[in-house]
Structure 1
Amino acid sequence: MKKASVKDRNTIITILHAAFLTETFPNSINFVAKQDKRRSKRIYYLMEYQCKMAFKFGQIFLSDGQKGCVLFLNPEKKRTTLRTILWDIKLAICCIGIKNIYKVLKREKILKKNHPSVPFLHLWIMGVMPDYKGKNIGTKLLKEVLKYYKNVHSIYLETTTESNKHFYEKLGFKVFNETHALEYPLYFLMKS
């Protein structure tokens, strides 16, 4: 595992884009990215946005061999600036689509309502290249990152699938809430 730097930006975006492009079932990525003939480009913009935000307000880790990555946000560091407003506008235009902004804002409201009241790090997104899924790259990476963050009081995440929920539970995360208010389930987990 290594802590990523801005030099790793294209690798990170490539991993995340490839990891989520093939997932066509209802989930957070497909909810946010407008589903049309430009889906691949829209998902690319979303991953580019998440990468920028994580470099600005968190940390990114790459697996050995650079086939997997995990992005963290530190909500205590997150600030609205002119730059982040421009990133949000580009995300709305290039990924979400103007007609979908309301439903995405509704989703964000649900997420924020379920954020822990204690200080936490947000495990924002994790991905592994499709050809390497099932080879313990994600498990090894996340175990190493959790060891890196062993002195952090709480790590929070949300996920949309039962299999991901079980993956995180095996690593010590506990479900503290769930909702079916959107087009897919959302499970909220935390590790203290």
Structure 2
Amino acid sequence: MIKAHKKDKDLVVNLLSHSFKDNQSVAYIVGKRNDKQKRIRALIDYSFELCFLFGEVWLSDDKKACALVLYPHQKRTTLKSTLLDIKLIIRAIGWRGALKAIKRESKIKGIQSKEEMAYLWFIGVLSAEQHKGIGSALLKQVLDGAANAGLSVYLETSTPKNIPWYKSFGFQNYGSINLGYDLHFMKWDPIAEITHTER
């Protein structure tokens, strides 16, 4: 696993915007306009920048997969983060979509844990390289890093077929909400995983 640098941003944005082009949760945020792919790229660009400030951006050794991990407890309101938020509204969400996005975020925050965590915002693999174990290897390394830091890993997914994959790593469902699509909340607890592995 390689920690990404700023120069890797285009690679990450290309990879994740392609991986999430049909994702329901992303579509909910950016809307269904003609420039949807451009808006998805802007959302991923924003996520990269925020994780670069308050988290980590990881690439697989072959740079065919990446993960954006945010540490919400480290997030601060700064001039840069405020400018990123404004840029997100202008380039990805639109002013009309901002209220919808704020309501969605409020519902999510009502379910999410308040504990310190590693929040797995995005993980994706180049489509031609899927089902070869690259994403699994990257996720395992992300989990190992979180365990070393004493942090649980949280995520949400709107893709039902991904749930068994996450569960195979020890993630557990802890809630769901319907936003016109079902958003599933999942948690990986390093202590629970150690206990489970020792059985």
TM-score normalised over the length of structure 2 = 0.90
Q: Secondary structure of the equivalent of 1:76?
A: helix
Q: Secondary structure of the equivalent of 2:33?
A: coil
More helix by share: 2
Judge conservation of contact 2:60–2:138 (CA < 8 Å) in 1. Answer: yes
The aligned residue for residue 2 of structure 1 is 2
Write out per-residue CA displacement over residues 74-133 of structure 1, whole angstroms, 9 at most, x where no aligned residue. Answer: 111101112111111111111112221121111100111112132211111111111112
Q: Which amino acid aligns with 1:129?
A: L
The aligned residue for residue 82 of structure 1 is 79
TM-score normalised over the length of structure 1 = 0.93
CA-atom RMSD in angstroms: 1.3
Percent of aligned positions with the same letter in both sequences? 37
Judge conservation of contact 2:4–2:59 (CA < 8 Å) in 1. Answer: yes
Judge conservation of contact 2:156–2:185 (CA < 8 Å) in 1. Answer: yes
The aligned residue for residue 135 of structure 2 is 138
The aligned residue for residue 92 of structure 2 is 95
1:147 and 1:121 map into 2 onto residues whose CA distance is 11
Q: Which amino acid aligns with 2:15?
A: I
The aligned residue for residue 153 of structure 1 is 151
The aligned residue for residue 67 of structure 2 is 70
Q: Which amino acid aligns with 2:166?
A: Y
Write out per-residue CA displacement over residues 111-165 of structure 1, whole angstroms, 9 at most, x where no aligned residue. Answer: 1111213221111111111111222211111012212222323111111121111
Q: Secondary structure of the equivalent of 1:171?
A: coil
The aligned residue for residue 176 of structure 1 is 174
Q: Which amino acid aligns with 2:174?
A: F
Number of equivalences? 188
2:124 corresponds to 1:119: no
Judge conservation of contact 2:19–2:127 (CA < 8 Å) in 1. Answer: yes
Judge conservation of contact 2:13–2:44 (CA < 8 Å) in 1. Answer: yes
Judge conservation of contact 1:34–1:97 (CA < 8 Å) in 2. Answer: no
* Unmatched runs of 5 consecutive residues or more in structure 1: none
Judge conservation of contact 1:75–1:120 (CA < 8 Å) in 2. Answer: yes
